[in-house]
Amino acid sequence: MILQPISDNELKEHIASLPLDGREVFLMADSKVRVSAVQATQMINQMRANHGLGIMETYVLGQGYIAGALLASTVKNNDRIQLQIECGGPIKGLSIESWASGAVRGYLVNNPIPIDRPVESFDTSMLYGPGFLSITKILEGSKTPFTGQIMMEYGNLANDLALYFRQSEQTPTLFYLSISFDKSGRVWGAGGLFLQALPGCDDSTLTGLQERAGKLKGLGKALSEGMSVREYTESAFADYGIIHEAHFPVGFSCPCSRENFRNYLVNLPENEKDEIRDGSYPLVLECFNCGTAYSFDKNEIDRLFQEGK
pLDDT tens profile 52-111: 999 999 999 999 999 999 999 999 999 999 999 999 999 999 999 999 999 999 999 999
Q: Does pLDDT of 16 surpass 90? A: yes
Is 258-308 the same fold as 9-252?
A: no
Round to whole Å and give the CA distance between 93 and 290.
Answer: 16
Mean per-residue pLDDT for 17-25? 98
pLDDT digit string, tens, across residues 26-37: 999 999 999 999
Q: What is the pLDDT of residues 100-121, one digit of tens each?
A: 999 999 999 999 999 877 777 8
Q: What is the pLDDT of residue 124?
A: 95
Q: Is 79 helix (H, G, I), strand (E, B) or coil?
A: coil
Instruction: Please name the helix (run of DSSP H) or strand (run of DSSP E) that holds residue 98, with its range, or none.
Output: strand 93-99
**Where do the structural domains in the chain lie, given as residue ranges?**
9-252, 258-308
What would the DSSP string read from start to end of 240-295? GT-EEEEEE--EE-----HHHHHHHHHTS-HHHHHHHHTS-SSEEEE-TTT--EEE
Residue 272 has pLDDT above 90, yes or no: yes
Class of domain 9-252: alpha beta
> Which is the CATH superfamily of the domain at 258-308?
HSP33 redox switch-like (3.90.1280.10)
% of the chain exceeding 90 in pLDDT: 90
Buried b (16+ CB within 10 A) or exposed e, 252-278: bbbebeeeebbeebeeeeeeebeebee
Its pTM stands at 0.96
In this predicted structure, the answer to whether residue 44 has a pLDDT above a threshold of 90 is yes
